[in-house]
Amino acid sequence: MNAILKKIQKIGIVPVVVLNDAKDAEPLAKALCDGGLPLAEVTFRTEAAEESIRIMVKKYPNMLIGAGTVVTTDQVDRAVDAGAKFIVSPGLNPKIVAYCLEKGVPITPGVSNPSDIEAAIELGLEVVKFFPAEQLGGLKMIKAMAAPYTKMMFMPTGGINAKNLNDYLAFPKILACGGSWMVSGDLVKAGAFDKITELTKEAIKLMLGFEVKQLGVGCDGSKMLEAMYIPVTLEEECVVISTNSMMRAVAYLESQGIVADMNTTKYEEGRLVSVELKERAGQCNSHDSACFQSKVVLVEK
């Protein structure tokens, strides 16, 4: 799979952004990054789209910015020239797909039926957008269509929100979900960027679903406290945190400066189920009379 698409998969949520004024681009980008979501699909529905992409890419170079609602080759050129790293279109236009692939730009075109998926396969695509998702039957429809097309991944968009996000992401054929509930036009127009950051944080929290399952605190090598919500077989003096998605949790934590020790990974049937974080829980410094530290282990729910 294309490296950009893999990065989108690790992030999990694609904010679909409509900007009517390029002045809102920078504060919106900041709001998303502050919320832990360094990704945006800026739709080409408005005249401000091209300049907005340019501003976001310049001001926040570590963000992954793409262009959505792209329906012409001219829009592809303008988006890419502005710095867009991926293209999303509402439907599957073979001309647009071929043009993007020739330029080496990943494109995720919209599909709504098996014929569209077969056309996408013929064009060499591995990921398609399912749009409008909820109106076309939602997750049930995706599961039905995914059965015969075992290598195809889907990015549903349209009607995705905080209530159904995790239902979609739990299905392994879902690359990521596109949504606008945390970046609605009304919030942008009102300049409510603090609210956008708040909603973004809530979306990340919901998606990852972190829960403490074991709390074991050590003091100078001796166990001082241990509480377990569920039986675990891990060694004592561990803080065990479970998550809905190991892949996305590791990626998110690393974006926050918390790195997983990949030498401690455990897999089941090719799936990552456990990893130790390099950062420990507790406190230990020269001013402490005792040293309280424990390993932190991330596990799959």
Q: d(Cα 265, Cα 273) in Å, to the nearest integer?
A: 8
269: exposed, middle or buried (Cβ count in 10 Å: 0-12, 13-18, 19+): exposed
Q: Where are the beta strands (DSSP E) in the chain?
A: 13-17, 39-43, 64-68, 87-89, 107-111, 127-130, 153-156, 177-179, 211-219, 222-228, 238-243, 260-268, 271-283, 292-300
- The answer to whether 97 and 104 are in contact (CB under 8 A) is no
What tokens were used for 45? 């529905």
Q: d(Cα 109, Cα 94) in Å, to the nearest integer?
A: 9
Query: Is 41 noted as a catalytic residue in this protein?
Result: yes
Indicate which residue of 10, 41, 237, 295 is catalytic.
41
Indicate which residue of 10, 50, 85, 129 is catalytic.
129
- The answer to whether 213 and 230 are in contact (CB under 8 A) is yes
What tokens were used for 131? 């749009």
Pairing state between β 292-300 and 238-243: parallel
Query: Is 47 noted as a catalytic residue in this protein?
Result: no
Which amino acids are annotated catalytic? 41, 129
